Structure 1
Amino acid sequence: MLIHGGGDSGWAWHLLEAELRSRGHDTVAPDLPSENASAGLDDYAEAVTTAVGDRRDLVVVGHSYGAFTAPLVADRLPADLLVLLAGMIPAPGERPDDWWEATGCVRARQDAGLAGIDDPFESFYHDVPRELAEEAMRRERDESPRVGDEPWPLKAWPDVPTKFILCKDDRFFPADFFRGLARERLGVVPDEISGGHCVPLSRPDALADLLVGYLKH
């Protein structure tokens, strides 16, 4: 179950889906209703659970902003594993719009010299083939303002085994920042993958290997 990040769509996962399917796994990667300005976190989670249908043996993966939705899905469905990929780990009651300051992300980006990188081809897609990066930009979607203003509704993290994957060459979220946040909020040491923020497009094979490897332990 693959949940895309902010401004993105299920298309962002298409290369990873092909890799996972070649390894014998079913995949679902719906578009969240982000272009609906009245949609909230519950609507995002409902869109995912509807797409899952009656599937079982679920691995829920949330990328970036999708980390606010992924735990809600894992809390509602019989998930075996929850994986956050460069995910914005929420805290109970935290508004997504407040996350940046509350976690120290703004300062971390400044300290790492990343705050001034405004070109998405440099911040998000610097290691993605240019043609794919341009297609991703063409497919960029709006994000519901209601989601950013809603307190994250869970009172505690779902009782589901959780993994965190950070991207070592991420120019949007510094790797050291996520190393600290994953320990602080999840009590886990992140797994690390080479590549920038959008590894489902730049390194889908390596990401598939990592995800499938979790199922063997």
Structure 2
Amino acid sequence: MTHFVLAHGGWHDAWCWESLIAELGHWGHEATAVSMPTDVPGRGAQSYAEVIAAAVVPEGSVIVGHSLAGLILPLVPPLASVKACVYLAALLPDPGRSWRDQLGDRPMADWFYSHALPFQQRDEQQRTFWPAKVASDLFFHDCADDVAARTSARLRPQASDPVAERSPVLSFPKVPTYYVMGRDDRAVSTTWAAAASAERLGVEPIWIEGGHSLFLSRPAQLADVLAGLGTAHTPDHHLNAKGATS
């Protein structure tokens, strides 16, 4: 049995993992979904990492970070017993740079720039949020209509701190590392993800047919992949992994 810690991306919360947790349970695995303070101004990547680390069990957990949480994952292994890091359709830190600095490299999908970003809004605290229809088309376009509508309505505002701050990541931890990506992601560029995961993590993506929110649109298939990765920490079993040890 593997214990997973599931860290949501921007605008989301712990509830987004419910279907995946159920599917992992069918494989005999346990998972804890954390709720990071993404809607609280003044909380940066390090404070998010502390939330994730607090959910890691003493015998060690596999941590999974979706989208924005990819900027946080490398900060967790120094704080807790992490068996592996799984970046899911994730942003990746570039040590010494903020995510806003990285935006000049066009890491987001073309669809994001043309059909989503022009409609992003800000509240009185300068937190970003999405109109429900835009969120549905961006994040949940390959989900069932009722799931997309219900989930879009539950999104919350996102504070800017983890994307505006200079990344506190100095280097990537030496733990087994994987990158999982949907081929039809409308948020993160698949071209960028393939290049960045190779350059920064030393791995090739594990591809799944689907969009940005595979935990909602393809929970059984994603659970299948994660269940395999959860036990793939020996030389005979590691799959596209960097830092695996016997």
TM value normalised by structure 2:
0.80
Match in the other structure for 1:26: 30
Matches within 5 A, 1:177-192: 177-192=192-207
- RMSD of aligned alpha carbons: 1.6
Q: Is the Cα contact below 8 Å between 1:60 and 1:74 reproduced in 2?
A: no
Match in the other structure for 1:116: 114
SS of the equivalent of 1:116 reads helix
What number of residue pairs does the alignment pair up?
211
Give the residue type in structure 1 aligned to 2:202.
Answer: G
Measure the CA separation in 1 of the matches of 2:162 and 2:205.
26
Among residues 73, 78, 82, which one is paired with 1:79 in the alignment?
82
TM-superposed CA distance for 1:11, in Å, is 0.8
Measure the CA separation in 2 of the matches of 1:61 and 1:161.
12
SS of the equivalent of 1:28 reads strand
Give the residue type in structure 2 aligned to 1:44.
Answer: Y
Measure the CA separation in 1 of the matches of 2:32 and 2:44.
21
Measure the CA separation in 1 of the matches of 2:146 and 2:219.
16
Give the residue type in structure 2 aligned to 1:199.
Answer: L
Match in the other structure for 2:44: 40
Match in the other structure for 2:97: 94
SS of the equivalent of 1:105 reads coil
Per-residue deviation, residues 117-157 of structure 1 (Å, max 9, x unmatched)? 22222221110112111222121112222222222112110
SS of the equivalent of 2:178 reads strand
**Which consecutive unaligned segments of at least 5 residues does structure 1 have?**
none
Matches within 5 A, 1:1-217: 1-52=5-56, 54-101=57-104, 103-105=105-107, 109-110=109-110, 114-118=112-116, 119-214=134-229, 215-216=231-232, 217=237
Measure the CA separation in 2 of the matches of 1:127 and 1:45.
30
**Which consecutive unaligned segments of at least 5 residues does structure 2 have?**
117-133, 238-246
SS of the equivalent of 2:28 reads coil
Q: Is the Cα contact below 8 Å between 2:93 and 2:169 reproduced in 1?
A: no
Change in Cα spacing, 1:174 to 1:150, as seen in structure 2 (3 Å) is: closer
TM value normalised by structure 1:
0.90
Identity of aligned residues (%): 33
Q: Is the Cα contact below 8 Å between 2:58 and 2:81 reproduced in 1?
A: no
Measure the CA separation in 2 of the matches of 1:155 and 1:174.
24
Per-residue deviation, residues 10-53 of structure 1 (Å, max 9, x unmatched)? 1111100111112111111111011211211121111222233x
Give the residue type in structure 2 aligned to 1:60.
Answer: I
Measure the CA separation in 1 of the matches of 2:112 and 2:12.
21
